[in-house]
Amino acid sequence: MHFTITATDPTSRARCATLELAHGAVETPVFMPCGSIGVVKACDAFDVDALGIEMIVANAYHLWLRPGLDVLREFGGVHKFMAWPRPVLTDSGGFQVFSLAKPGSITEDGVKFRSHIDGTEKLLTAELSLEIQNAIGSDIAMMFDECAPYPSTHEYVDQSVEMTLRWGRRSKAAHKNPDQALFGIIQGGIFPDLRDKSAQGTLDIGFDGYALGGLSVGEQRGDMLMAIETTEPLLPWDRPRYVMGVGTPLDIVDCVMRGIDIFDCVLPTRNARHGKLMTWQGTVKINNAGFATDHAPLDESCDCHTCRNYSRAYLHHLFRIKEAVGWRLLSLHNLRFYAVLMRRIKDAIRTGALPALRAELGPWSVRDEA
């Protein structure tokens, strides 16, 4: 992995960079759509590529259960399996298994839980997570961490941070793939002292890049931004930074201004399936009865397949009849919105126009998008 900063914003901590990975180079700031189970929902790999998406995020938990490690190994990883030639980052699976784990089943060893597919009891550990991510062959693997629930007590988060650091050391020890970068994850909830402790400990272990975890999990927006502002100055300038699970367009711009390079979120694809479409004038709810006879595209200014070829009325119809291709067409639009957003962010960093771009996102209330 090579990370080369190519532009910086004099008014903020924002930067542009080239991130070279095993499956090609990515220009940051970059947004990764969710391809958790080896597919960006409702789209195929050619759809995603045509939108200008450079990288996707897949999930160790989901791919471990289906299609399973034997299949992934047979294909030499998820890229060939899903016909996606560009970079993939994998989450460790920790976030998913915590929601399935009963109280008391998170121990020093790892996390015991029951599969959401067949109910069988399983144990996910740092070593197994790295083994899965190796079988997936992702360009960037994530260390195995505990994402403490929000809200949690200072005492709980403190112990969680300590255990996560031990899991981080075990993750690094288990990581053997020279073609795969490994990122550390900084936890600590909304407690500045614990964010600091987690950051220092993670930096001491040493990773190719650093993620901020445990954000965008229900805390106040100001707390999220404060946690980033607290931690970011501690991070090496020449390594990529990733805020996991973020976010809305405004969240992304605000995080970019705070020095973050990499993002992922279910928002564009999940919103599309729920009929919520993102435009530069705000969110459009396609189920709105007023669209039943509307000849206009979703967004006059958008160049996606959906906006170039279909009316709001037809998309409204497809959504009402719960037609699978409606989910696809709406997902293509929202993903293209994010691809254009990231291109505009990069252009704005290079031209000093980031504050103006942020102001343009004014019509987006934060609640509006979630």
Report the catalytic residues.
Answer: 91, 264
266 belongs to the binding site for its own copies (CB under 8 A): no
Nearer to its own copies, 74 or 229 (CB): 74
Q: How far is the CB of 22 from its own copies (least distance, A)?
A: 20
Among 16, 17, 30, 43, binds its own copies (CB under 8 A): 43
Among 2, 66, 116, 343, binds its own copies (CB under 8 A): 66
Stretch that binds its own copies, among 12-20, 71-79, 152-160, 274-282 (CB under 8 A): 71-79
46 belongs to the binding site for its own copies (CB under 8 A): yes
Contacts of 330 (CB under 8 A, 6+ apart): 272, 273, 275, 277, 286, 306, 315, 319
Nearer to its own copies, 44 or 127 (CB): 44
53 belongs to the binding site for its own copies (CB under 8 A): no
329 belongs to the binding site for its own copies (CB under 8 A): yes
Q: How far is the CB of 49 from its own copies (least distance, A)?
A: 11
DSSP per-residue codes, 171-228: HHHH---TTSEEEEEE--TT-HHHHHHHHHHHHHH--SEEEE-S-SSSS-HHHHHHHH
301 belongs to the binding site for its own copies (CB under 8 A): no
280 belongs to the binding site for its own copies (CB under 8 A): no
What does the block give as tokens for 114? 């029951």
328 belongs to the binding site for its own copies (CB under 8 A): yes
114 belongs to the binding site for its own copies (CB under 8 A): no
281 belongs to the binding site for its own copies (CB under 8 A): no
Question: Which H or E run contains 78?
Answer: helix 78-82
For 68: left if phi > 0, alpha if psi spans -120 to 50, otherwise beta; the answer is: left
Q: How far apart are CA 261 and CA 107, in angstroms?
A: 32
Q: How far apart are CA 354 and CA 337, in angstroms?
A: 17
Q: Please state, in angstroms and as integers, the Cα–Cα distance from residue 56 to each residue in 49, 138, 289, 328, 364, following that order.
A: 10, 10, 34, 17, 25
Q: How far apart are CA 11 and CA 102, in angstroms?
A: 47
Mapped onto helix, strand or coil, the DSSP state of residue 4 is strand
DSSP per-residue codes, 136-167: HT-SEEE-------SS--HHHHHHHHHHHHHH
69 belongs to the binding site for its own copies (CB under 8 A): no
Among 327, 337, 338, 364, binds its own copies (CB under 8 A): 327
Among 313, 340, 353, 370, binds its own copies (CB under 8 A): 313
Q: How far is the CB of 70 from its own copies (least distance, A)?
A: 7
115 belongs to the binding site for its own copies (CB under 8 A): no
305 belongs to the binding site for its own copies (CB under 8 A): yes
Q: How far apart are CA 215 and CA 370, in angstroms?
A: 15
Q: How far apart are CA 233 and CA 229, in angstroms?
A: 7
Tell which residue, 100, 103, 126, has the closest CA to residue 113: 100
Q: How far apart are CA 156 and CA 149, in angstroms?
A: 10
61 belongs to the binding site for its own copies (CB under 8 A): no
Among 19, 22, 45, 286, binds its own copies (CB under 8 A): 45
Among 7, 25, 83, 366, binds its own copies (CB under 8 A): 83
Phi, psi angles (nearest 5°) of residue 25 = -95, 145
Q: How far apart are CA 233 and CA 185, in angstroms?
A: 15
Q: How far is the CB of 261 from its own copies (least distance, A)?
A: 29
Phi, psi angles (nearest 5°) of residue 88 = -130, 135
Stretch that binds its own copies, among 80-88, 235-243, 252-260, 278-286 (CB under 8 A): 80-88
Nearer to its own copies, 38 or 188 (CB): 38
Q: How far is the CB of 127 from its own copies (least distance, A)?
A: 25
Stretch that binds its own copies, among 2-10, 40-48, 159-167, 260-268 (CB under 8 A): 40-48
324 belongs to the binding site for its own copies (CB under 8 A): yes
Residues within the interface to its own copies (CB under 8 A): 37-39, 41-47, 66-68, 70-71, 74-75, 81-83, 292-293, 295, 305, 309-311, 313-314, 316-318, 320-321, 323-325, 327-329
